[in-house]
Amino acid sequence: MAVGTDRRQHIVLLPFLAQGHIIPFLALARRIAQRHPGRFTLTLVSTPLNVRSLRSSLPPDSGVLLRELPFRGADHGLPPGAEGTDSVSHGLLFKVFQASASLRPEFEGLVAEDIPREDGCPPICIIADVFMGWTVHVARQLGVFHAAFSTCGGFGSAVYFAMWLHLPHRHAASEEDEFGVPSFPETFRLHLSQTSPALKNVHDQDPRVIFFREQITLCCSSDAMLCNTAKALEPTGTALLQKNTGVPVFSIGPILPPVTRSSAGRAGKVLGIAPEACIEWLDAHPPRSVLYVSFGSQNSVSAQQMLQLAAGLEASGRSFIWVIRPPFGFDLKGQFRAEWLPEGFEERVRSSGRGLLVRDWAPQLEILAHGSVGAFMSHCGWNSTLESLARGVPLIGWPMAAEQFYNVKMLEEEMGVCVELARGLVQEVDPAEVGRVVGMVMGEEKGKEMRRRAAEAAEVIRVATREEGAEKGPSLAALEAFLESVQKGTPATGNAAA
């Protein structure tokens, strides 16, 4: 369709090459397309394998177009078939970042020439991942609106940016190994164990530091920053993000994918269990009696921790669904070996009906939406956090990387919806402690209060994203205000300031 004749306008979205980014980008594109079918054309751009997976799960009436960019991962030392963080070992993660930056010439060609030629109208806006700050150059060159989309929360993003920009953990000199973070209140302290492995032992000239500083700084010169959160969910975090970046921040979330019973996994991932089988299993359990255990799309605990966690889950006496994949250090895509679980574990939990082990990828949203789920043991990646809170499900935190440590800190200390069980991959995990924490969070004392708070968070989320007649919740109103700025080409005013 020639956009020029029906005055549709084109928005191009470019997520970072990770499921935790692609999933909310797609959800955002679908939300805009669904709200404004005649007003905007949405094109989500990624690499061939990612686009192929997305295509297999995207309904034909989604209103979102998909475009491929050629990806030359081998030029950056990536193995064949590796087009995202979920298909590489941890040692290769940074290469995915480097390879993603090499998409620039093709992306530029797509936005400047291919799309205008094929659609009759040049894109008016690029919404790009905060890890793709280089897209600001493309937008400036073409004179189009640029928005950076942070798929993390406000608080998590603000701390994460400050950590890379200032590396404050290098100065942790006190006996407690605690440190403050520039541009944060003095009372805000982090412990060295809350530093992501990627930030350990880095210095100003480290290629990772140079890379992240550049992307973050570029995003701070964007026209707007979209954040997948609700202002009322994390007022302090969104205000800090606004203050520290200086960009108009729009808290437009949570933007969550729709719950479906489709046999295709989210973003086209292959499911380790059919959603119906999972739901049937959950149906056979009482309300709030099941613990869901999953560490996102690209993380796994260590081999020793896996044995300890398994023993702890048995010790807890609770029912559970556990998404298992090979432990940290092994090929995450490889075959799962029996020796990674205690002897007889799988058979015991299966025959007793107490546990359901799902290989690699589960229908997470559908599980969390089920009334039998009472708690979520999670690495507290932001998507998982939002998906849990939107259903009023409290969390047991086990952060491993990136901004997960700060998410857990906020969820536990400010929101009271999480208890941190463990941190990172080196700590030993006492099975008895696993049992104790699971019992506490799913129990009737602290657990009850956590469920109350999680239900409050769910209500905040519902209100932020509701639409009743002409009345819109604040997140929805912020999305509309953002689109208005894009369409008019006027400077944006965000909604995140305190």
**Which residues sit at the interface with ligand UDP, rule CB under 6 A?**
18-20, 23, 266, 294, 296-299, 323, 361-362, 364-365, 381-384, 387
Residue 36 designated active-site: no
The tokens of 355 are what?
């546990």
Residue 203 designated active-site: no
298: left (phi over 0), alpha (psi -120 to 50) or beta: alpha
Minimum CB distance to ligand UDP, residue 108 (Å): 27
In this structure, is the dihedral angle defined by the CA atoms of residues 159, 162, 163 and 168, taken in order, positive or negative? negative
The residues that bridge with 147 in the sheet, in sequence order, are 127, 224
Which residue, 248 or 265, is less far from ligand UDP as judged by CB? 265
Which residue, 121 or 199, is less far from ligand UDP as judged by CB? 199
Which residue, 36 or 90, is less far from ligand UDP as judged by CB? 90
Which residue, 381 or 447, is less far from ligand UDP as judged by CB? 381
Angle at 124 between CA 123 and CA 125, to 5 degrees: 95
The active-site residue, picked from 10, 21, 36, 169, is: 21
Q: Are 223 and 493 spatial neighbours (Cβ–Cβ below 8 Å)?
A: no
> What is the CA 282 to chain-centroid distance, rounded?
25
Minimum CB distance to ligand UDP, residue 257 (Å): 7
Nearest in space to 224 (alpha carbons), one of 249, 251, 252, 254: 249
Which residue, 23 or 130, is less far from ligand UDP as judged by CB? 23
Q: DSSP secondary-structure letter at 149?
A: E
- Which residue has the closest beta carbon to ligand UDP? 20
The active-site residue, picked from 36, 76, 90, 129, is: 129
* Burial of 304 from C-beta contacts in 10 A (0-12 / 13-18 / 19+): middle
User: What residues have CB less than 8 Å from 41, skipping those under 6 apart?
Assistant: 3, 8, 9, 10, 11, 65, 119
* Burial of 293 from C-beta contacts in 10 A (0-12 / 13-18 / 19+): buried
Which residue, 110 or 362, is less far from ligand UDP as judged by CB? 362
* Burial of 498 from C-beta contacts in 10 A (0-12 / 13-18 / 19+): exposed
Q: Which residues are catalytic?
A: 21, 129
